[in-house]
Amino acid sequence: MSMRLIGDIGGTNARFALCEPGGVPQDERKLPVTQYPGLIEAAQTYLAGRAVDEAVFAVATPVLGDEVAFTNSPWRFTIPDARDRLGLRRLTIINDFVAQAAAIRGLGQEDIRLLKPGTPRAGRPRVVIGPGTGLGVAFLLEDGAKARVLSSEAGHASFSPQDDQQAEILRHLRGEFGHVSTERLLSGPGLLRLANGLAKIKGVPERFGIPTEISDGAAAGNCPICLDALRMFSAILGAAAGDLALTLLADGGVYITGGLCRNLGPLLDVSALTEGFTAKGRFSGYLGTLPINQVMRPHTGLLGAAIYQEE
């Protein structure tokens, strides 16, 4: 039986695995993006001479044609060249959050943590959102046994502050970036910007260099700026998810995925997230009925690539 090479390629790490048709990922391996000149070389390293007939790669960038350039890394390739150099009969490239959304149908109850109770409606759209190196978004539409995933670049839509403090953060970031997308705040680097922005606003000399300094400070309970940054991060995540749920009337509910939020554990402020999600004026009652789930299974991008079927 032929094996499929699958990959979940982000801005920081490239994860590879093999799977049988219709099977689950096996022989998983993570390779740091910075240690390889490109996707093809990383995939060749993983294969180590093993031959495969087809591959599905989920990539952290829009898939708009044969040329693929990553949003948050210097990697770029063309699909025909990658197919030929890897010796593949067939190569499918999908957005990484298409894979995340496709994986939802393969999860069990043990893979899900309920953050906000609600009543999902069968057959209705679901929002899949996940902060990481950037901010991924997709929508899952189901019709009986059939499923369709809509890719999205909603993470690059303009950030909309929900209070005066967020507006002040936005003002500072405009000076640095001009246009400020939601991804600039709702990501690992975004958490860093929130903490340093709050420190500046409050006149605190403390500055942070990596996101884990913020989670470590909050976990220790001795860093008010860290706790405030995580509270704001959670509120912005909820607000963004609420906007997306309204955009498509996603009565199927919301799924938060990815390692960043999973690794935060109890530091993810569920109360702030829920308040941000439902604070939509006349539609707060509607959003109050929708569930928010967190995907706790790691490497769901690989699972989604394994079960992905082209339409």
DSSP string covering 13-68 = EEEEEEE-TT---EEEEEEEGGGSSSHHHHHHHHHTT---SEEEEEESS---SSEE
Average pLDDT over residues 36-57: 95
* Statement: residue 22 has pLDDT above 90: no
pLDDT number for residue 181: 97
Give domain status of residue 86, yes or no.
yes
User: When comparing pLDDT for 259 and 116, which is higher?
Assistant: 116
Indicate whether 152 belongs to any domain. Answer: no
Order of strands, edge to edge, in the sheet holding 254-256?
112-116, 292-295, 254-256, 126-131, 135-143, 146-152
156 occurs within a structural domain: no
Amino acid at residue number 203 = G
Supply the pTM of this predicted model. 0.90
Q: Is residue 66 part of a domain?
A: yes
The mean pLDDT of the chain is 93
56 part of a folded domain: yes
pLDDT of residue 41: 97
CATH number at residue 22: 3.30.420.40
Query: Confidence class of residue 164 from pLDDT cuts 50, 70 and 90?
Result: very high
Task: Give the model confidence (pLDDT) of 196-250 as tens digits.
Answer: 999 999 999 888 999 999 999 999 998 999 999 999 999 999 999 999 999 999 9
Is residue 281 in some structural domain?
no
Confidence of residue 147 (pLDDT cuts 50, 70, 90): confident
The whole-angstrom distance between residue 205's C-alpha and the CA centroid of its chain comes to: 32
Which has the higher per-residue pLDDT, 3 or 116? 116
In the predicted structure, residue 2 carries a pLDDT above the cut 90: no
Parallel/antiparallel/unpaired status of strands 112-116 and 292-295:
antiparallel
267-309 per-position pLDDT tens digit: 999 999 999 999 999 999 999 999 999 999 998 999 999 988 7
Q: Look at the chain and report how many structural domains it folds into.
A: 1
pLDDT given for residue 1 in this prediction: 55
Number of H helices, E strands in the chain: 11, 13
Show Cβ contacts of residue 126 under 8 Å, excluding neighbours closer than 6 positions.
101, 104, 120, 139, 140, 141, 142, 250, 252, 253, 254, 255
**Which domain does 85 fall in, by range?**
4-101+300-307
Which position has the higher pLDDT, 51 or 235? Answer: 235
The confidence band for 311, taking pLDDT boundaries of 50, 70 and 90, is very low
Q: Is 70 within a domain?
A: yes
d(CA 145, CA 87): 33
Provide φ and ψ at 106, rounded to 5°.
Answer: -100, 5
Has residue 263 been placed in a domain?
Answer: no
Average pLDDT over residues 20-26: 84
285: three-class secondary structure by DSSP: helix
